[in-house]
């Protein structure tokens, strides 16, 4: 059970890496668009995160204030990806505020995950 939880945590981290990595590529290549890889990373992090939010395979209590905060931030990132890709389809570019918020909020969720105990 404990090993399975570690595998789900691994999948959760892959989701985070795909989302943040895809965003970082766009940030440095100057295009600053939204790609399908970002949505796939978010979906992977969300599914694995929800599985980890249930207390199985651990002998300590989960911090539900932290998990709830991460869930709200994830929903906001999902909304920004949706709005941003809609704008990208219409006008060919993503408003900078939306693009930068996606990366900052993703990094914030990773910081909350690792620093908030």
Q: Which two tokens stand for residue 55?
A: 């207390």
**Residue 14 in contact with residue 42, Cβ under 8 Å?**
no
The correct pick among 49, 81, 98, 103 for binding ligand HEM (CB under 6 A) is 49
Near ligand HEM in 29-48, by CB under 6 A: 45-46
Q: Which residues 6+ apart lie within 8 Å of 43 measured at CB?
A: 15
Near ligand HEM in 89-108, by CB under 6 A: 106
**Which of 51, 27, 29, 30 is CA-nearest to residue 106?**
27
Residue 67 binds to ligand HEM (criterion: CB under 6 A): yes
**Can you give the binding site for ligand HEM, defined by CB under 6 A?**
9, 12-13, 16, 19, 45-46, 49-50, 52-53, 62, 67, 70-71, 74, 77, 106, 109-110, 113-114
């Amino acid at each position: 059970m404990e090993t399975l939880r570690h595998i789900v945590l691994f999948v959760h981290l892959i989701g985070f890496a795909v989302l943040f990595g895809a965003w970082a590529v766009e940030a440095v290549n100057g295009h600053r668009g939204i790609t399908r890889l970002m949505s796939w990373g978010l979906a992977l992090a969300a599914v694995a995160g929800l599985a980890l939010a249930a207390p199985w395979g651990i002998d300590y209590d989960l911090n539900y204030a932290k998990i709830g905060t991460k869930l709200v931030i994830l929903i906001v990132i999902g909304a920004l990806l949706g709005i941003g890709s809609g704008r990208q389809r219409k006008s060919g570019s993503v408003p900078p505020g939306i693009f930068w918020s996606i990366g900052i909020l993703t990094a914030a969720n990773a910081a909350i995950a690792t620093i908030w105990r």
